[in-house]
Amino acid sequence: MKIIWAPWRMAYIKNARKPRGCIFCLKVREQRDSDNLLLHRGQHGFIMMNLFPYNSGHLMVAPYAHVKTLDALPADGALDLIRMTNLSLRVLRAEIRPEGFNVGMNLGRVSGAGIEGHVHLHIVPRWNGDTNFMPLFSETRVIPEHLRATYRKLRAGFRLAMRQEAGKLRQGSGRRPKRTKLPL
Ligand SMILES: [Zn+2]
For 149-173, the pLDDT digits (tens) are 999 999 999 999 999 988 988 887 6
Q: Number of helices (H) and strands (E) in the chain: give both, helices first.
A: 5, 5
pLDDT tens for each residue of 6-45: 655 555 555 555 557 899 999 999 999 999 999 999 999 9
pLDDT beyond 60 at 134:
no
From the candidates 40, 44, 58, 120, which is the catalytic residue?
A: 120
Structural domains of the chain ordered from first start: 36-128+135-162 (3.30.428.10)
Q: How many angstroms does the Cα of residue 119 sit away from the middle of ligand 1?
A: 8
Q: Residue 167 in contact with residue 39, Cβ under 8 Å?
A: no
Q: How many angstroms does the Cα of residue 21 sit away from the middle of ligand 1?
A: 8
Per the confidence metrics, is the pTM higher than 0.85? no
58 an active-site residue? no
What is the Rg, in whole angstroms, of the alpha carbon atoms belonging to the chain?
Answer: 19
Q: How many angstroms does the Cα of residue 66 sit away from the middle of ligand 1?
A: 4
Phi first, then psi, for residue 61 (nearest 5°) are: -115, 125
Band (pLDDT 50/70/90 cuts) for residue 62 is: very high
Q: For position 1, what pLDDT does the model report? A: 46
